[in-house]
Structure 1
Amino acid sequence: MAASSQPSRSLPWLLSGPALLLFTVMLLVPLALTAVLSFNAYDVATGVKPGEFTLAHYAQVAGDDYYRGIFWRTFWISALVALICAVVGTAEAVVLSRMSQPWRSILLLVVLAPLLVSVVVRAFGWSMLLGPEGVVNTALQALGIGRVRLLYTEWAVVIALVHVMLPFMVIPVWTSLQKLDPQVESAALSLMASPFTVLRRVVLPQVVPGVLSGSLIVFGLSASSFAIPGLLGGRRLKMVATIVYDEYLHELNWPLGAAVALVLLVANLLVLVSLNRMVEGRYKRALG
């Protein structure tokens, strides 16, 4: 019996072996090399010193107000984008789940359509809309408000990121709504609950896992976004991804760029894990 059960225990490892190998080669090895690079010493005249190791790059990131300000800007913009996407995306998912064919398929195609267009193309589109002579400022002038500086500001980055990240919120919430039993809503309505009460007390608590999953995805992707902040934020409005790009390609300080990238990765993981535990704990307590 022991000999016959041995192959069954090793079978999952054999089947997952190619995926684990690909994961190791494509993710773990580059991360390990980046970690080693982040500890290498750097000299402006000679460049990277492979044989010398130092913690100066991490000390610079942690002790310099410039880098702390960039990390703070990155995280508050990402949190705001996740919050807006949670509100708008949940409403869109609820409407989507209530629609009948063929309108459901049409709206789903509209929601997913931004994913079919390159992020760079969408960023250039928003730059034309939010520019001094763009559609938004033209409309504001027609209304008598006058021009408003939108391009190369935090709000331009937030607007474009919401547009890009919204599908990543709608799909998880919509998936959670598909698991909701319609008879539960009918039972609440039969007990004289108002539609708003049914939405607040029955529907929304059921979609908390979808909202949590979507928020984590949106926050993580927004914090590491490069194209949107680079094109709509300009050279003065820096985020962490643009700093990494500058250190690698402009300053040629690869160890500092690697240190910034790893600090972003660790900070991102800490925020996501903490948010997941906090929301999941409250959700479990609410459900008893």
Structure 2
Amino acid sequence: MSSATRALATDPALAAPPAGAGPSRRSRVKWGPLLLLLPAIAVVTMFFLVPLVDVFIRSVTDPEPGLQNYEWLLTNPVNLEVIARTFLTSLVVTFVCLVVAYPYAYLMTIVGERARAWLTLFVMMPLWTSILVRTLAWMVLLADTGPINDFLEAIGVGRQPLIRTTFGVALGMAQVLLPFMVLPIYSALAKIDRRLLSASSSLGANGITTFFKVYLPLSRPGIFAGSITVFILGLGFYIIPSLLGSPKEAMVSSLIYQQVSVFLLWGQGAALGIALLVVTLIILVVFNRFVRGASLAPGVEPE
């Protein structure tokens, strides 16, 4: 018997594990991560899945079992008009945020550390203020006798209807949602290798060509993540359209509130909520399927 064999036979630490030790270790490896996820799964189940199932059940059982609430939803032209207005307003707000956020995020990538900290502070500051307070401030600014109209009259343009319009609603929503566009775009732009831009210039491309052929495609994950976040958040706004708009600018959230709190028609309000959720999920699936190279998380490449 060799020395190595004698060592294996006499050293308990080097001996073969007991017969039942292998499966027990595999079991711990298998169930360990799942046990860590249990708190998150419990929270998601109790505060998201259970209410969602309850809303769906109400939509097909209140006031009586059937699909009459969805029939009302699809056959009432007012509902279809409000849904179309909601998606159109969210789309406009997303476009406005993208136009403002992209240059701002680019500026954050080329300035120094101190200036970047100030720019980050400016974009995050609205998130630290109550949305109701910000909306009331916009009501003062956009009022017919407010400072903006006073300025327009002073320069000869004349007073314009700013409040109780789609413009006012979109402006207020864009100011609230702008950080959700700036931060994903900045995250994507900060990861772009600047040597690629120099290589493009050395190969004869001008600045415009370099931007559209190199820089913009590399920033697409951040654009997609920010746009889809702003668009989805915009679909559920209630306070801003109610205070800055008029009944002509009502969105789905206002219609749901009206059905539930005013008319006490829980089934119809639930049907509106489920329809909005389904349409939003369809939009997400379509974007993930047809926007090639995009990702909901900037910096994470899709499979």
TM-score (norm 2): 0.86
- Choose the corresponding residue for 1:170, options 174, 182, 185: 182
Check conservation: 2:135, 2:172, Cα contact below 8 A.
yes
Q: Distance in 2 between matches of 1:276 and 1:219?
A: 15
Q: CA deviation at 1:38?
A: 1.2
Residue equivalent to 1:47: none
Distance 1:4 1:282 in 2: 40
Q: 1:105 aligns with which of 105, 109, 117?
A: 117
> Cα distance, 1:273 vs. partner?
2.1
Query: Mean Cα displacement is larger for which, 255-264 or 82-91?
Result: 82-91
Who is 2:29 aligned against?
8
Q: Does 1:233 align with 2:245?
A: yes
Q: Deviations over 1:50-79 (max 9, x none)?
A: xx3121111001111000000000001111
Of the three residues 34, 42, 61, the one matched with 1:40 is 61
Unaligned runs of 5+ in 2: 1-21, 296-303
Secondary structure of the residue that 1:53 maps to in structure 2?
Answer: coil
Deviations 1:60-106 (A, max 9, x none): 01111000000000001111111121222111111111111211111
2:105 touches 2:182 (CA, 8 Å); kept in 1? yes
Which residue in the other structure is 2:66 paired with?
54
Q: Which residue of 2 aligns with 1:135?
A: 147
Question: Which secondary structure does the structure 2 equivalent of 1:169 belong to?
Answer: helix
Residue 181 of structure 1 is matched in structure 2 by: 193
- The 2-side partners of 1:6 and 1:143 are apart by 76
- 112-121 vs 179-188, which moves further: 179-188
- Aligned counterpart, 2:283: 271
| AA at the equivalent of 1:242 | S
- SS state at 1:262 partner: helix
Distance (whole Å) between structure 1 residues aligned to residue 288 and residue 147 of structure 2: 39
Equivalents in 2 of 1:40, 1:91: separation in Å?
50
Change (3 A) 1:282 1:120: closer
2:62–2:266 CA contact under 8 A, matched in 1: no
SS of corresponding position for 2:29:
helix
Structure 2 counterparts to residues 184-199 of structure 1, below 5 A: 184-199=196-211
Question: What secondary structure, in the 3-state scheme, does the structure 1 residue paired with 2:62 have?
Answer: strand
Percent identity of equivalent pairs: 34
**TM-superposition CA deviations, 1:4-54 (whole Å, max 9, x none):** 212101111111011101110010001011111111233xxxxxxxxx312
Instruction: Specify the alignment match of 2:229 in structure 1.
Output: 217
1:69 and 2:81 matched: yes
User: What is the root-mean-square deviation of aligned Cα atoms in Å?
Assistant: 1.6
Aligned residue identity for 1:17:
L
Residues 212 and 276 of structure 1 are in contact (CA less than 8 Å); yes or no, is this contact kept in structure 2? no
- TM-score of the superposed pair, with normalisation by structure 1: 0.90
| 1:46 counterpart residue number | none
2:38 maps to what in 1? 17
Q: Does 1:152 align with 2:157?
A: no
Match status 1:26 vs 2:47? yes
CA distance in 2, matches of 1:231, 1:146: 24
What is the rounded CA distance, in whole Å, between the counterparts of 1:236 and 1:253 in structure 2?
Answer: 22
Q: SS where residue 158 of structure 2 aligns?
A: coil
The structural deviation recorded for 1:282 is 8.1
Counterpart-to-counterpart distance in 1, 2:167 and 2:97 = 15
**Which of the pair has more CA radius of gyration?**
2
The code of the aligned residue for 2:243 comes to: L
Tell me how far apart the structure 1 counterparts of residues 226 and 80 of structure 2 sit (CA, whole Å).
Answer: 27
Letter of the aligned partner of 1:15 in structure 2? L
- What CA deviation, in whole Å up to 9, does each residue of 1:109-135 have, x standing for no partner? 111111111111111111111110112
